[in-house]
């Protein structure tokens, strides 16, 4: 085998190898772009679903919070009214007792004054 035949054999083998590598590189590039595009699409759809679910959850929490605020306000107002009523009742009881005590003390004071005279 001569040098030229050997060189032709090596060069054609390199050319065939380069062609095969090139074809697979193009194929691999296209497949990679296709897979990356698919992953991007799936990630975008998944992210949109997560955002929509988060919005719904936030709206539910907000509505529940508003409901609890209203209920809390109503309960607080009811407790204030009940507290005011019971305080007024207690004040009236104390007032009545105080009047009785003052009347008794006044009578005792009059009796003491009469004894002193």
Domain-by-domain residue ranges, the chain? 1-117
Please give the model's pTM, rounded to 2 decimal places: 0.48
Q: Is the pLDDT score of 63 beyond 90?
A: yes
Q: How far apart are CA 35 and CA 9, in angstroms?
A: 38
Better pLDDT: 108 or 38 = 38
Q: Compute the residue count for the chain.
A: 117
Q: Is the pLDDT score of 12 beyond 70?
A: yes
The percent of residues in the chain predicted with pLDDT above 90, rounded, is: 40
* Residue 50 binned pLDDT confidence (cut-offs 50, 70, 90): very high
* Residue 74 binned pLDDT confidence (cut-offs 50, 70, 90): confident
> What pLDDT score was predicted for residue 117?
67
Residue 2 tokens read as 């001569």
The percent of residues in the chain predicted with pLDDT above 70, rounded, is: 99
Q: Is the pLDDT score of 98 beyond 70?
A: yes
């Amino acid at each position: 085998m001569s040098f030229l035949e050997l060189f032709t054999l090596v060069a054609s083998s390199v050319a065939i190898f380069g062609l095969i590598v090139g074809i697979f590189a193009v194929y691999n590039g296209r497949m990679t772009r296709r897979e990356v595009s698919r992953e991007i699409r799936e990630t975008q759809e998944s992210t949109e679903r997560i955002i929509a679910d988060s919005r719904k959850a936030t709206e539910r929490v907000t509505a529940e919070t508003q409901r609890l605020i209203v209920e809390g306000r109503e309960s607080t107002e009811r407790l204030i009214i009940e507290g005011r009523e019971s305080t007024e009742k207690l004040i009236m009881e104390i007032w009545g007792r105080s009047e009785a005590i003052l009347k008794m003390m006044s009578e005792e004071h009059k009796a003491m004054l009469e004894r002193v005279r």
